Amino acid sequence: MPAAPTARRSLRNLLTAGAIASALLVAAPGTGAAKSASADQGSPGRAGLSGARELRGPGCKTLSRPGTSARMRRIERRRVKRCTRPVKAAASAATGPLYWGAWIGSQLTGDEAPWDMGAVSKFEGMAGKGASAINFSSPFADCSSSCTYYKFPAAEMEAIRAHGSMPFFSWASSATPGSLNQPDFQLSDVIEGHHDAYIREFAEAAKAWGHPFFLRFNWEMNGNWFGWSEGVNGNQAGEYVAAWRHVHDIFTQVGATNATWVWCPNVDPESKLHDLASLYPGDAYVDWTGLDGYNWGTNPTRPDRWRSFDDLFKSTYDRITETIAPGKPLMISEVGCSEYGGSKAEWIANALESARTNYPLLRGLLWFEKFDDGMDWPIETSSSAAAAFAQGIQSPSYLGNTFASIGPGAIQPTG
């Protein structure tokens, strides 16, 4: 999620204190504690989330030519008139079945999922359906004092699988406390192999666990609010792709084929963020694409304006599915809506309808069920919002939690 204009979200906020158990930590030999800036320093500007770009029909530019006959000039004028009419939206193309779920915060039970699976049950109780995927996260290391690496979260993965859901693990090549100044966790450190022993151990543990999971690595890389983006933390152009491939290659070398790699930028309707094409690792290194996007509305924490689901997602979805990664399934990995500025209930209803009817390659949607940066993302902020979510998710297009015994290899869309 992009940072609020006044306070950048640190990765510490992605983890509940109870989740950072000492059992998940191992020593990180040769890694010094990262120098961290205070949470209020270097706050990046927020991402531009504006309406979708205007559609234009192809081949509509007409140049006048000297000596053209009167008949041909009339024909060309009619052609120009046709081409300047508003372009009708393409007919809806039904999406196949969608995985659905959430990144669930501590507000429901006092601890986040999956460290407390009761939070999943409470969320599902509001939704009236079992979630097919659960999002959770970890950076590489905890550098609160001396740096220690986080182990592969096998117990948490197994808790999600036993529930019938698929783990959706967001893994970042950074450390807590969160900061844009982490000299030991620059992309060049990954590329040069400084973390190879840890990455290899993590990949081997993933292989040993043996069940499929989504691995969303270094997400929202086209922004400037996380330390793994190019242009911040000393990272240079071209290093994002090189770092991604380096980590992916280690997983391939150890045979951790149960990781399903998700490349997930932030929505960027006005193309104000980093160019996506330059950040795409390539089809051989990506299984699914993804998108994160939020309707901030006019919430006083971060006043913006009301934006529809299609305003946020459609243009970047089109760019990814038509030119960057055609044919790859796409997962909306984070989405949320504020109560301020419009009807959250209507927004949710329209979003869940549009997601399953207007985005043919969209095959998953994960709600951001957390209070974060003072924002009111959870569905239970009003009874009408919760009811709209429950009603929309009842569509048979949204799959339940029936994936405890999913087969080996990368996770595929169903249907």
Distance between CA atoms of residues 415 and 68, nearest Å = 55
Q: Are residues 363 and 283 in the same domain?
A: yes
Beta bridge partners of 267: none
Q: How far apart are the first and last CA of the chain?
A: 30
Residue 290: in which H helix or E strand, if any?
strand 288-295
Q: Are residues 155 and 70 in the same domain?
A: no
Q: Are residues 83 and 197 in the same domain?
A: no
Total residues found in the chain within this entry:
415
Q: Are residues 216 and 82 in the same domain?
A: no
Q: Are residues 248 and 181 in the same domain?
A: yes
pLDDT score of 93: 58
Kindly state whether residue 44 falls inside one of the protein's structural domains.
no
Q: Are residues 200 and 316 in the same domain?
A: yes
Kindly state whether residue 42 falls inside one of the protein's structural domains.
no
Helix, strand or coil for residue 169? strand
Overall number of domains in the chain: 2
Whether 266 contacts 47, CB under 8 Å: yes
> Beta strand pairing status for 25-27 and 371-372?
unpaired
Kindly state whether residue 29 falls inside one of the protein's structural domains.
no
Q: Six-digit token pair at 354?
A: 């549009």
Kindly state whether residue 37 falls inside one of the protein's structural domains.
no
Residue 343's nearest CA partner among 287, 298, 394 is: 298
Q: Six-digit token pair at 42?
A: 């270097």
Kindly state whether residue 111 falls inside one of the protein's structural domains.
yes
Q: Are residues 222 and 371 in the same domain?
A: yes
Domain interval for residue 281: 96-393
Distance between CA atoms of residues 176 and 183, nearest Å = 13
**Dihedral through CA 245, CA 134, CA 302, CA 126, nearest 10?**
170
Kindly state whether residue 315 falls inside one of the protein's structural domains.
yes
pLDDT score of 415: 78
Helix, strand or coil for residue 172? strand
Type of residue numbered 277: A
Kindly state whether residue 404 falls inside one of the protein's structural domains.
no
Q: Are residues 84 and 176 in the same domain?
A: no
Residues of the chain under the 70 pLDDT cut: 1-94
Residue with the two structure tokens 């984070």: 334
Strands, E assignment, 340-383: 362-369, 371-372, 375-376
Tell me the CATH number at 260: 3.20.20.80
Residue that is last in its domain, among 88, 109, 143? 88
110: left (phi over 0), alpha (psi -120 to 50) or beta: left
Q: Are residues 346 and 274 in the same domain?
A: yes
Q: Are residues 317 and 174 in the same domain?
A: yes
pTM of the model: 0.81
Q: Are residues 205 and 64 in the same domain?
A: no
Kindly state whether residue 9 falls inside one of the protein's structural domains.
no
pLDDT score of 2: 58
Q: Are residues 146 and 219 in the same domain?
A: yes
* Tens digit of each residue's pLDDT (9 = 90 or more) over 273-298: 999 999 999 999 999 999 999 999 99
327 phi/psi in degrees, rounded to 5: 90, -15
C-alpha dist (Å) from residue 33 to 45, 144, 345, 369:
27, 8, 45, 32
Contacts of 237 (CB under 8 A, 6+ apart): 230, 231, 278
pLDDT score of 1: 67
Whether 257 contacts 409, CB under 8 Å: yes
* Tens digit of each residue's pLDDT (9 = 90 or more) over 219-274: 999 999 999 999 999 999 999 999 999 999 999 999 999 999 999 999 998 889 99
> In the Cβ-directed half-sphere of 327, how many Cα atoms lie within 13 Å?
4
Q: Six-digit token pair at 331?
A: 């997962």
163 phi/psi in degrees, rounded to 5: -75, -10
